[in-house]
């Protein structure tokens, strides 16, 4: 998987480039991992409902063809877009999503943070009162449950076309989190969104980006 750092990249041209590569790629074209930041933008997934966009203000709202509902992208967030041939990698979509989450969990662990999955709610979460506690969450937490005590630190939204993926994940490192208050993040009213900085981790976004890329390359390699 070839890793490319795009810098701060406008959202719509980046999505168009991902779509174009996916449309034209053949069985021998390489898998790519694009890493970037985006200028401030709200993005609505295919399941997006307008009532979850509460008060966008001057931040544009862009409809897109990834899965999921509304989220926010902005500076200080590491965005990763794997352009992966699932058939060649030997992965089903469910396994692919699990490995995206696993890459985030391993990246957080590199900074001593314990991330958690929540059943029915893709992404990665942390305990607000104990982000470094390694104990597992107790009992099931369905998507309809109250989000008391948890904060979302990474969001996922993917698209698969002819066995090939685009879109991906966003991990919050050190960003202005206030725009998340203008939406119901990922469609969940009352869900708190956090970054590494707000839970007490002073991490260089470039170092987090490199760690995330390393884990994604390892977990998405063919035959893993």
Measured CA angle at 9 (ends 205, 182), to 5 deg:
75
Q: What sign results for the dihedral spanned by CA atoms 158, 163, 166, 169?
A: positive
Helix (H, G, I), strand (E, B) or coil at 66: coil
Per annotation, catalytic residue among 124, 155, 186, 211: 186
By the 10 Å C-beta count (0-12 exposed, 13-18 middle, 19+ buried), 84 is classed as buried
Active site residue 164: no
**CA–CA dist 202, 133 (Å, integer):** 18
Q: Report the catalytic residues.
A: 186
């Amino acid at each position: 998987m070839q890793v490319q750092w795009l810098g701060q990249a406008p959202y719509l041209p980046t999505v168009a480039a991902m779509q174009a590569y996916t449309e034209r790629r053949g069985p021998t074209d390489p898998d790519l991992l694009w890493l970037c930041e985006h200028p401030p933008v709200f993005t609505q997934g295919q399941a997006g409902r307008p009532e979850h966009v509460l008060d966008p203000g001057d931040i544009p709202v862009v409809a897109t063809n990834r899965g999921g509902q509304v989220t926010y992208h902005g500076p200080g967030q590491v965005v990763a877009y794997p352009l992966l041939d699932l058939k060649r990698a030997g992965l089903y979509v469910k396994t692919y999503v699990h490995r995206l989450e696993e890459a985030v969990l391993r990246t957080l662990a590199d900074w001593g943070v314990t991330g958690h999955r929540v059943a029915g709610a893709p992404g990665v979460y942390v305990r607000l009162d104990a982000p470094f506690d390694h104990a597992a969450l107790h009992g099931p937490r369905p998507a309809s449950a109250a989000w008391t005590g948890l904060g979302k630190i990474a969001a996922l939204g993917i698209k698969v076309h002819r066995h090939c993926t685009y879109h991906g994940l966003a991990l919050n490192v050190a960003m202005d989190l206030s725009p998340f208050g203008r939406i119901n993040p990922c469609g969940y009213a009352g869900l708190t969104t956090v970054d590494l900085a707000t839970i007490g981790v002073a991490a260089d976004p470039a170092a987090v980006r490199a760690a995330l890329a390393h884990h994604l390359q390892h977990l998405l390699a063919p035959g893993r």
